[in-house]
């Protein structure tokens, strides 16, 4: 095994896969406010966490209406749709799939009706590891997918169904306190019935969830940046193992499990926005500090430090500050490249990375470059980038990575490649360097990353770097993104559902 501190590392010949985010969740309880529009802007601030689908549910006290579709937040919603979603409670979600394929049926919020006729809308960020067990409990209870969601194959739909089933006898809050302790894995839940907004966070607090205050209401969000955009003041984090309920009587808190904090360290590296704070620590400040530590651990003589925008920018600034090598912008990013439904032609596909990044030739020509990126998964991006920089005139390219080698997949909500596809798994450092074509390659050490986060090591999940999973995993056959697909009792391939009108529990999409 090679030390994570080594300064010569790289990547493989697999299809490109950057680390994919999980999801973003947002909830607001605010009588007299345009809660659908607040949810829209909250999701806009969380768009980086999921770009496959978006949805908002709104309750006016009598019924819940859900509108969702595949695409970016700005593609799914317009002024007409948002104006039609009237109420005082909203639940929002932007999705990247970690359990279940990217289909309309798996878009969230997911909806269920209880036996008493009450509605339940639920949004989930994270990934459960006892999905197979929940599926078996769902089948044993005789529960079927919601009528409009026969193609649903997500762990979130299982949770919503079980919660709705229990709520018929005890009410939503009591049902949640009974169900939540049986969930295993990472979950940040925001859900509502007609009158109350709820939020819950797994006992490990793997991913962030925060509480904010409005002048006339409350907000729950995946990141503090989403509070800022709607003018909510940060109150505190939702505690690990905590259930919050907000209604006309105010806010109340319950404990369903003892906290065992294991926050995802990769939130600091890549997932969260730089203008977010986690556990009281600015993400931007953390990334700058990582860059400084990277410069101390892996120095090199060079003329210019450039970031791979945007996620590599703060670490590149820190590297330049600590090394004394000037910082510059050598790459321009196309800010409009999100998830696209238009497949590129073969010619354009061969251009690869140029769809996202293009070099500033006059800046980099003749220079020895330090190129700072957030992480390497398979390495195809870095290999194409190094080639492009050399073609643009760089005389040396030294790649520096603001995280340790990713050697293990994540089962708690980040869709990394499988372990066999991870370049750092089984490849020696110099072999990786040669594969991407860099002159040198260095990673920050795990110790440096932890120190930059200013969190105790005991409170962090670092499984993707060290293979130590804080929440026990089931057998391989009982875990995976497509676990719930193609099972007995499903209705075959997912199909679009279009409903013309709005009604209690209608899940609406454009025809």
CATH at 436: 3.40.50.2020
Binding-site residues from annotation? 264, 311, 373-374, 410, 461, 464
User: For residues 51 and 22, what is the distance between their CA atoms, to the nearest angstrom?
Assistant: 10
Q: What is the pTM of this model?
A: 0.87
User: For residues 196 and 89, what is the distance between their CA atoms, to the nearest angstrom?
Assistant: 8
Residue 340 reports pLDDT greater than 80: no
User: For residues 136 and 442, what is the distance between their CA atoms, to the nearest angstrom?
Assistant: 46
Binding-site residues from annotation for [4Fe-4S] cluster? 264, 410, 461, 464
Inside any domain, residue 17: no
Inside any domain, residue 429: yes
The residue segments making up the domain with residue 315 are 281-334+346-466
Report the CATH number that the domain containing residue 97 is assigned in CATH.
3.60.20.10
Tell whether 90 and 144 lie within a shared domain: yes
Point out the catalytic residue in the list 7, 23, 160, 188: 23
Residue-wise pLDDT for 204-242, tens only, equals 999 999 999 999 999 999 999 999 999 999 999 999 999
Tell whether 291 and 438 lie within a shared domain: yes
Which segments within 390-439 are labelled E, that is strand? 396-401
Tell whether 309 and 245 lie within a shared domain: no
| Residue 7 a catalytic site member | no
Contact 317, 288 (CB under 8 A): yes
What total number of domains does the chain contain?
Answer: 2
Residue-wise pLDDT for 111-132, tens only, equals 999 888 899 999 999 999 999 8
Inside any domain, residue 275: no
User: For residues 257 and 112, what is the distance between their CA atoms, to the nearest angstrom?
Assistant: 25
Tell whether 261 and 403 lie within a shared domain: no
Inside any domain, residue 228: yes
Binding-site residues from annotation for Mg(2+)? 311, 373-374
Inside any domain, residue 437: yes
Residue-wise pLDDT for 134-174, tens only, equals 989 888 888 765 543 334 457 889 999 999 998 888 899 99
Tell whether 161 and 302 lie within a shared domain: no
User: For residues 377 and 492, what is the distance between their CA atoms, to the nearest angstrom?
Assistant: 33
H runs (alpha helix) in 422-510: 429-436, 446-453, 463-466
Inside any domain, residue 15: no
Tell whether 447 and 504 lie within a shared domain: no
Tell whether 312 and 209 lie within a shared domain: no
Tell whether 298 and 229 lie within a shared domain: no
Tell whether 112 and 219 lie within a shared domain: yes
Tell whether 240 and 305 lie within a shared domain: no
Inside any domain, residue 484: no
Inside any domain, residue 111: yes
């Amino acid at each position: 095994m090679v030390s994570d501190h080594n300064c010569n590392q790289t990547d493989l010949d697999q299809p490109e896969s950057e680390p994919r985010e999980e999801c973003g969740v947002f909830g607001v309880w605010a009588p007299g406010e345009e809660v659908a529009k607040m949810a829209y802007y909250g999701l806009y601030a969380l768009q980086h966490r999921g770009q496959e689908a978006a949805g908002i549910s709104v309750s006016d006290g009598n019924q819940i209406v859900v509108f969702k579709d595949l695409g970016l937040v700005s593609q799914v919603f317009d002024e007409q749709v948002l104006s039609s979603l009237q109420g005082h409670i909203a639940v929002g979600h932007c999705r990247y799939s970690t359990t279940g394929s990217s289909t309309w049926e798996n878009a969230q919020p997911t909806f269920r009706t209880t036996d008493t006729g009450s509605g339940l809308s639920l949004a989930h960020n994270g990934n459960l590891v006892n999905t197979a067990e929940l599926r078996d409990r769902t089948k044993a209870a005789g529960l079927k997918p919601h009528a409009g969601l026969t193609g649903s194959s997500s762990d979130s739909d299982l949770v919503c169904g079980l919660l709705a089933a229990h709520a018929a006898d005890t009410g939503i809050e009591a049902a949640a306190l009974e169900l939540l302790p049986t969930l295993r894995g990472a979950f940040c839940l925001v859900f509502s019935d007609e009158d109350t907004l709820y939020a819950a966070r797994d006992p490990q607090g793997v991913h962030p969830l925060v509480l904010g205050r409005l002048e006339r209401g409350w907000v729950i969000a995946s990141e503090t940046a989403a509070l800022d955009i709607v003018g909510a003041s940060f109150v505190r984090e939702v505690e690990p193992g905590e259930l919050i309920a907000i209604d006309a009587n105010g806010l109340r808190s319950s404990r369903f499990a003892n906290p065992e904090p294991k926050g995802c360290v990769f939130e600091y590296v890549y997932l969260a926005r730089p203008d977010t704070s986690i556990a009281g620590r600015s993400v931007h400040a953390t990334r700058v500090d990582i860059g400084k530590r990277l410069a101390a651990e892996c120095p090199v003589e060079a003329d210019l430090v450039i970031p791979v925008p945007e996620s590599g920018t703060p670490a590149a600034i820190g590297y330049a500050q600590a090394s004394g090598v000037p910082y510059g912008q050598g790459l321009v990013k196309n800010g409009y490249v999100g998830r696209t439904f238009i497949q590129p032609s073969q010619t354009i596909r061969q251009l690869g990375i140029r769809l996202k990044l293009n070099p500033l030739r006059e800046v980099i020509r003749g220079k020895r470059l330090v190129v700072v990126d957030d992480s390497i998964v398979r390495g195809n991006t870095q290999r194409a980038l190094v080639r492009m920089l050399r073609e643009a005139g760089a005389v040396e390219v030294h790649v520096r990575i603001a995280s340790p080698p990713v050697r293990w997949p994540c089962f708690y909500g980040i869709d990394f490649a499988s372990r066999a596809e991870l370049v750092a798994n089984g490849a020696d450092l110099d072999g990786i360097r040669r594969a991407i074509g860099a002159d040198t390659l260095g990673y920050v050490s795990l110790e440096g990353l932890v120190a930059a986060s200013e969190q105790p090591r005991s409170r962090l999940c670092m499984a993707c770097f060290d293979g130590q999973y804080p929440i026990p995993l089931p057998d391989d056959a009982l875990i995976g993104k497509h676990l719930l697909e193609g099972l007995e009792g499903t209705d075959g391939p997912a199909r679009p559902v279009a409903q013309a009108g709005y009604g209690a529990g209608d899940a609406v999409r454009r025809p």
